[in-house]
Structure 1
Amino acid sequence: MCIIFFKFNPRPVSKNAYRLILAANRDEAYQRPAKVADFWGINNDILSGLDMEEGKEGGTWLGISTRGKLAAITNYLQPRQDPDARSRGELVAQFLTTDMDSLSYLKKVSTEGHLYNGFNLLAADLSTEKGDVICYYGNRGEPEPVVLTPGSYGLSNALLETPWKKLCFGKQLFQEVVEQSQTLSKDALIAQLLEVLNNEEAQLPDPAIEEQGQDYVRPMLNKYAAVCVRCHNYGTRTNTIILVDGDGHVTFIERTMLDKDPSLWKTSTYEFRLQS
């Protein structure tokens, strides 16, 4: 289970407004090995965490490059997984390293969607001169990717904007913070977005998530139905905030769990200007 909230306006009117505000949780088994966010050694223009599970090394769930490429993925909740399917994390990593634009890349991915278990993929080209473009494709939804219109969106483990109660609840909290973004300091904005991501209030009952997850999700529904998932050995282990201002200045904050312990966290901050 993961969740992403974002608002984008490629050409904000005010100098104090952000072109993009993104807040995301990565939910995963605590013991699954991963690297915290950093610039890649070889492709040092790419910033992301990295999956280090055997056979899936080098994939990622969310990343951005100084060239203005951004991608994020969530799994689509399904009761049964194909153990022979390809790793979904490679889809984000491949976009961050390719020269293809976001829509062309997602069109290519749509022809190969059957090779993966269910996923939702966001791909973006952030350009100060041309304007930002964000596209979406889910391999359990429409056959073609779509270019998103400016606005606010929520994505969890169903198709984009599927009105799960946790998604609607979290999106409302997110929008309330975003509405204040021009009057808040950057630190205050980040702090309030982290509060949204760490809300553990279960939004129940939710027949929609039960119907999609079936017997897989029902025993854990009271935990899974919150923005922040907290189970014994699984849950929210990474919070990520990405802010992009009108001049192309990027602030990337990752708060990540240490030593499989929900009481131990490390926060890293990266700042750079988009090259595009």
Structure 2
Amino acid sequence: MCIATWVWQAHPVYQFLLLLNRDEFHDRPTEPVGWWGESSNHKILGGRDVLGGGTWLGCTKDGRLAFLTNFREPDSLSGTKSRGELPKRFLECTKCPLEFVQEIVKEADQYNGFNLIVADLCTKSMIYISNRPKGKPISILEVPPGVHVLSNANLNSPWPKAEKLRKEFSEILSNHRQEEISETEMVQSLMADKTKADRSLLPDTGCDPEWEFDLSSIFVETVTKLGRYGTRSMVAICVTKSSKVCFYEKYIVGGIWKDHSFQYHLEKLQEG
């Protein structure tokens, strides 16, 4: 299901800093974060869903970035397109974020519920699009500077775990106004939190209340009839004002947690 929080154009050290957990069935084939893509000049850095061929989160050296969460609803339609292709398509194209989401509007009904963030870090443009709730107009929003949170409802919806994560993330940012923050420490202290919400505060999405409760923590771990489900990857992406990018991932494979990191500089900002 996934949850993410980020600060955008509102910190003295970072132009962008993202924390994101990916929740999925543990037996779904997945490649950890790495460089991939058909074009030698436009590689994508991100994880890869082997089954659908797309990604939930990725970025490029020329400043393109995209990430996705599913919209929680009781039923998913069969025969729809894989939502993971949306971030992949943005990362592979040359359209600006607004042009891209305007294109997606025309086909949004071909996907199950999604929330999508697409951004160009070099032009400082970030756009949010969602095709839910059902029966409502497609939501498109230029994301303003500040701290934001996205789980499995619309952007900045005040679900208990989203509000908890936003609050604790904001506190860390306030305590580190003039210095870089350890990616590993942020992931461990914020994204590994297994505290479940008070049942009386759970959102009513039409799903089974026990499922809502199982998913009410920032770090999810549960077992369903279809197998083990929960957080499989925890990520921090940090982009400093000097254009340095650090992409850190902690991920589980074969029941063992591993981690790795990647660093580079945004090419467009470097050239400018």
Equivalent in 18, 34, 39 of residue 38 of structure 1: 34
1:51-104 deviation digits (Å, cap 9, x = unpaired): 012xx1x20000000010000000000100011111000001000000001111
Any unmatched runs of 5+ in structure 2?
none
**How many residues are aligned here?**
259
Equivalent in 42, 60, 84 of residue 65 of structure 1: 60
Aligned to 2:251: 256
1:273 counterpart = 2:271: no
| Within-5 A mapping of 1:220-239 | 220-232=211-223, 233-239=228-234
Aligned to 1:6: 6
**Residues 213/268 of structure 1: CA separation in 2 closer, same or farther (3 Å cut):** farther
Equivalent in 116, 125, 132 of residue 121 of structure 1: 116
Is the CA contact (8 Å cut-off) linking 1:5 and 1:155 kept in structure 2? yes
Q: Give the TM-score, by structure 1 length.
A: 0.89
1:246 counterpart = 2:244: no
1:145 counterpart = 2:140: yes
Give 1:185 shift: 4.7
Is the CA contact (8 Å cut-off) linking 1:34 and 1:51 kept in structure 2? yes
**Identity of paired residues, percent?**
30
Give 1:111 shift: 1.5
1:197-216 deviation digits (Å, cap 9, x = unpaired): 1101111225552x21422x
Q: Which one-letter code corresponds to 2:212 in the other structure? A: L
Is the CA contact (8 Å cut-off) linking 1:122 and 1:137 kept in structure 2? yes
Equivalent in 189, 195, 199 of residue 201 of structure 1: 195
Q: Secondary structure at the match of 2:207?
A: helix
**Residues 90/135 of structure 1: CA separation in 2 closer, same or farther (3 Å cut):** same
Range that drifts further, 225-234 or 71-80: 225-234
Equivalent in 117, 127, 130 of residue 135 of structure 1: 127
Equivalent in 41, 46, 49 of residue 48 of structure 1: 46
Give 1:275 shift: 1.0
Runs in 1 of length 4+ with deviation above 2 angstroms?
41-45, 141-144, 180-187, 205-209, 219-223
Give 1:221 shift: 3.0
RMSD between aligned residues? 1.7
**Residues 227/23 of structure 1: CA separation in 2 closer, same or farther (3 Å cut):** same
Question: CA separation in 2, counterparts of 1:222 and 1:137?
Answer: 27
Question: CA separation in 2, counterparts of 1:160 and 1:185?
Answer: 26
